[in-house]
Amino acid sequence: MADQAEDVVSWKTVTPGITVVTMKRPPANALGIALLDGLHAAMDAAERAGDVKVMVIGSAQPGFFAAGADIKHLSSIDAESFTEYGDKMRAVNDRLAAAGWISIAAIDGIALGGGLELALACTLRVAGSAAQLGLPEVKLGLIPGAGGTQRLPRLVGRGRALDIMLTARQVPADEAYRIGLVDRVTDGDVLATALSFAEQLVGPSLPAQLAVIRTVDAAFDTPLADGAQFEIDQIQALFEDGEAAEGITAFVGKRAPQFR
């Protein structure tokens, strides 16, 4: 029987504002159609709820975050279907990257190919000390096609990104942390570490946090003067829409702010 989206992806609210999305397609969370549909369904649910501030994406498969594209599926399709499959992978990643919440990839084990591209689309990445990350598509006569060639250099720089992609090697967690591919590494429980990280993120103003993300991303895509103007526009908008007023008033009044 073919995989069903609800069987290979689940999600739940663990504390107010924090949702955990779990991939659970044996044996290695290959990114088949059902799993991709399940990730879309999880994001649909978060949008309907309207109160998600942090989404943690993890795995129920021991030793794997996600092994990458579904190679068996790729071996049985034509060029038109390959385009459709690639579009579906890109749609998940692009939607996640542009979501109205912060996302954390909890990488406990292997994250290769499309699995790493999914993690790269997240705002932040937490890895276990045994994690291995890579974009080995050149071994299949392909290149990363779901954002990897664009997002990886923005994190680690051109030379390091080329090293990782041209050699098709697996990057261990300690190196991934050193070069900025992951943001935190733990010897303990990866999901628990990611949730602790999420708890630190859930308190501040989400509109302000999203403005920080937009402004930092603009630094990679615009000249300095344009980026500085974008920063001005973002902070002005936060002041004018009342979010900053609440934060400032709460600080002066020595109370907890009630952010949106």
Backbone phi and psi for residue 18, each to the nearest 5 degrees, phi listed first: -120, 125
Q: Based on the residue annotation, tell me whether 6 is a catalytic residue of this protein.
A: no
Catalytic residue among 47, 117, 175, 199: 117
> And the tokens for 168?
């098709």
Sign of CA dihedral 119, 120, 125, 130: positive
Q: Based on the residue annotation, tell me whether 137 is a catalytic residue of this protein.
A: yes
Catalytic residue among 6, 47, 84, 137: 137
Catalytic residue IDs? 117, 137
